[in-house]
Amino acid sequence: MRTVTVLLVLLVGSAAWPAELLVVDRGAPKACLVLPKDASDQLKAAAATVVECVQTSSGAALPVITEGEAAEPGATTIAVGATALAAAAGLPPKELDPDGFVISARGRAIVVVGPTDWGTEFGLYDFLERHVGVRWLLPGDSGTDIPARQTIAVPEGLVRDEPVFFSRRRHRLDCFSVLGLIGLGGGGGFSATKDR
């Protein structure tokens, strides 16, 4: 009787776990990135960053195709930006902040989209942090930490993110401007010594 109870708990418990979409399986690519036909240079560069980070992590080079091109049969599709797949899913939501994004993983498709190219780019970086484990610790290549992973999988589900600040991008008022304001150098502001 005890064995039956344990088996029942395991079966019921395993049904609650979400399915996973494979991006890389034991070093082999199992997904491709799909860009809209009119993808901007910004989206192409962000997709190239995803390909580079996944390849550094796992050794697998994910193909990048344009909407309408045939993907490898059975491959997980990673739709980037305003694709037909995103529109069919009703993404992104109309009320989403311009720098916000949605990552939706369902069936055989992962959709990463924001209302703007900036939002989509931020979504791709979040995808790398969340599912590949990439960390940008300092500016430049030497400040990027990419862990080695033989398998990269994304659980089914929805991630929605919006900035709490006015914008995620760096503004004119940065640390160098503030240092200039108090007379410690940098750009702009006033000087602590007055010219006569």
Per-residue pLDDT at 157 exceeds 90 = yes
Determine the angle formed by the axes of helices 41-58 and 117-127, rounding to 10 degrees: 0
Tell me which fold the domain 18-181 belongs to. Chitobiase; domain 2 (3.30.379)
Question: What span, in angstroms and rounded, lies between the C-alpha atoms of 191 and 76?
Answer: 57
Question: What span, in angstroms and rounded, lies between the C-alpha atoms of 103 and 11?
Answer: 29
Percent of the chain with pLDDT over 70: 75
Alpha-carbon distance values, 7 to 12, 16, 17, 18 (Å): 9, 15, 16, 19
Between residues 182 and 193, which one has the greater pLDDT?
Answer: 182
pLDDT (tens digit, 9 = 90+) per residue, 180-192?
Answer: 555 555 444 444 4
What sign results for the dihedral spanned by CA atoms 5, 11, 13, 16?
negative
pLDDT (tens digit, 9 = 90+) per residue, 56-72?
Answer: 999 999 999 999 999 99
Lowest-confidence pick of 5-9, 40-44, 110-114: 5-9
Alpha helices in the chain (DSSP H): 2-15, 41-58, 84-88, 117-127, 175-181
Q: Name the pTM for this structure.
A: 0.77
